[in-house]
Chain A
Amino acid sequence: MSITKNSLVKIFFDTDESLSLTFLRFIAALVIFPHGAQKLLGWFGGYGVEGTLGFYSNLGIPAFLGLLNILTESIGAVLLAAGLLTRVSAFGTAVTMIVAVFTVHISNGFFMNWSGQAAGEGFEYHILYLAIALVLVVKGGGTFSLDSLIAKKAVSEDKTSYKLQSAKS
């Protein structure tokens, strides 16, 4: 089976009208953006790109992947908010969460450091985020997403060209 424009649209943009997805997408963007802004721009007391990549290299994460992560959390968050290439950004955040769990948080157990007595933060936060990201990877951006506009446009173009072709034959 060849990759047609149609199948690409289906893979990347096609999504149902669903306000559940809109909520999940907005909150996924809202929560991850401050982390990205810390890492990319040094906002909210963050370390900026250089400081963050230095921190990553101490963890043994290659600079290329570190940079990809910084872009996922910053630009990816903006794309999530707009619902543009939702599946790609959501996949990026899912990978981010999985890597964060296995490089840092798994040793701290399940719970966040609610009572301030643990050695550090656990991974219950990451489980919540992963669930949201997984939904967005599978179902796309839902209502009020640029993805759904693009998918609708592609479908209507397709119908027009189909009509033209059948009119010719």
Chain B
Amino acid sequence: MNTNIIHELLSTDNNVILTIVRIVLGIVIFPHGAQKLFGWFGGHGWNGSMNFFKNVVGVPYVLGALSIITESVLSIFLIAGLFTRVAALAILINMIVAATMHFKNGFFMNWYGNSKGEGYEFHLLTFALAIALIIGGGGMFSLDRLL
């Protein structure tokens, strides 16, 4: 029973499209995680990000920490195709929460620099890629296929 569920969770076709979707989503999300976890790419690092989550966004400690782990560690899982569906679901939830924080800026990104902030069209694109992976799994060259 339990092994069946895990088997279902990891089962995926030998499909190179899913590989591309997985690697692109991982590559785009990872720099955000690395900003928050390590302070790379001009980010604030763990302490700065947790302070931002607590004081500016008002997110509980656990959820802030989960978000940082999701964007940093689980984006690597996506690139490797390890527990692809779980990682994609976590990233989907992470991006849904992020999108709600951008609702006030409307749909559009701040393309012309005259809006008060970024909209949520970026997040919609990540939803599409994450949902495709939740449905299809990690595809070709994924560790899921080896397990």
Q: With contacts A34-B107, A44-B108, A127-B28 known, is A132 near B128, CB below 8 A?
A: yes
Q: With contacts A27-B124, A34-B108, A121-B111 known, is A114 near B118, CB below 8 A?
A: yes
Chain A residues with CB under 8 Å of chain B are 18-21, 23-24, 26-28, 30-31, 34, 44, 110-114, 116, 120-121, 124-125, 127-132, 134-135, 138-139
Partner of A112, one of B24, B109, B129: B109
23 contacts between A and B (CB under 8 A): A18-B135, A18-B136, A19-B135, A20-B131, A20-B136, A23-B131, A23-B135, A27-B127, A27-B128, A30-B124, A31-B125, A34-B121, A44-B108, A111-B31, A111-B41, A112-B118, A121-B111, A125-B121, A128-B129, A131-B21, A131-B129, A135-B20, A138-B17
Q: Report the tally of A-B residue pairs with Cβ distances under 8 A.
A: 83
A-B contacts besides A23-B131, A128-B28, 14 pairs, CB < 8 Å: A18-B136, A24-B132, A27-B125, A27-B127, A34-B107, A34-B121, A44-B108, A110-B41, A112-B118, A121-B111, A128-B24, A131-B24, A135-B21, A135-B132
Q: Closest CB of chain B to A106's CB: distance in Å?
A: 15
Q: With contacts A31-B125, A131-B20 known, is A121 near B132, CB below 8 A?
A: no
In the complex, how many residues of chain B place their beta carbon closer than 8 angstroms to a beta carbon of chain A? Answer: 29
Q: Closest CB of chain A to B130's CB: distance in Å?
A: 10
Chain B residues with CB under 8 Å of chain A are 17, 20-21, 24-25, 27-28, 31, 41, 107-111, 113, 117-118, 121-122, 124-129, 131-132, 135-136
Most buried by A among B25, B27, B129: B129
Q: Closest CB of chain A to B102's CB: distance in Å?
A: 10
Q: Closest CB of chain A to B17's CB: distance in Å?
A: 5
Which residues of chain B have C-beta atoms less than 8 A from A116's C-beta? Answer: 110, 117
Which residues of chain A have C-beta atoms less than 8 A from B136's C-beta? Answer: 18, 20
Q: With contacts A23-B135, A127-B24, A135-B21 known, is A121 near B125, CB below 8 A?
A: no
Q: With contacts A113-B118, A124-B28, A132-B128 known, is A139 near B113, CB below 8 A?
A: no
Residue of B nearest to A117 (CB): B42
| A110 touching B31, Cβ below 8 Å | yes
